[in-house]
Amino acid sequence: MSEQKRAPETGGDASENGANKGINEATAEAEALATADQEIAGDLAGERQRLEAEVASMKDKFLRAFAEAENIRRRAEKEVADARTYGIASFARDVLNVADDLARALGSLDETAKAAADGPFKSLIEGLELTERGLVKALEKHGIRKIEPKGEKFDPNLHQAMFEVPDPSVPTGTVVQVVQAGFVIGERVLRPAMVGVARGGPKAEAAPGADKEAGAA
């Protein structure tokens, strides 16, 4: 019996090769896409970090600029307030000369002479006293206060000692005489009070809060 020849199975091999080729191409394409995705993800992550750093830098610059603007605003407000309060200091010092003249005019008259005054002379004295009180009120209206420290403890921030008075009946350092009244404007001394200070008595005790008030003045 003669053997029959088999035909070569070329069709199956070709299909299998084509399938393998397609799989390889798909795998390569998938790997290429994955690589591209990783590169894109890396680029996006880097860009995100860059943008976040830029935002942080801009935020810091904004906060610094805002703080500086706030400081400038506060300084401007303080300068305006100081100008409003202390801008009349020079004028006020000139007005104090008028107050001193009135005080000297009234001080030249003792209480006996005032009590004995009559007619036009009495009216003149009353007019001077009224003018002095009105002047003091006008100064107070503009933040200028009179210092009359007689009986108080000497304060070098507010008073200027002109002489010492031996007086053992009062504590040493007590103001016993006011030669010229002082004035303050706001928290500043416009003119210290010129005073006579006692010595020879017991040591004066500092009043509670006196140091704090002196520092503020």
End-to-end CA distance of the chain: 138
Of the candidates 186, 193, 89, 88, which has an alpha carbon nearest to the alpha carbon of residue 151? 193
Cβ within 8 Å of residue 80, ≥6 positions away? none
pLDDT tens-digit map of 199-215: 887 776 654 454 444 44
Three-state SS at 205: coil
Q: What is the mean pLDDT of residues 47-57?
A: 87
**For domain 144-204, which CATH number applies: 1.20.120.330, 2.30.22.10, 3.30.479.30, 1.10.760.10?**
2.30.22.10
pLDDT tens-digit map of 20-37: 666 777 777 777 777 877
Please indicate, yes or no, whether the overall pTM of this predicted structure exceeds 0.85. no
CA distance 188 to 180: 18
CA distance 4 to 209: 131
Domain residue ranges of the chain, discontinuous segments joined by +: 18-86, 88-142, 144-204
| Dihedral-angle region of residue 149 (phi above 0 means left; psi in -120 to 50 means alpha; beta otherwise) | alpha
Of the candidates 103, 109, 173, 112, which has an alpha carbon nearest to the alpha carbon of residue 132? 103
Q: Which of 37-51, 63-77, 143-157 has the lowest mean pLDDT?
A: 37-51
pLDDT at 191 over 50: yes
Residue 45 in tokens:
């992550």
CA distance 141 to 60: 47
Predicted confidence at residue 143, as pLDDT, reads 86
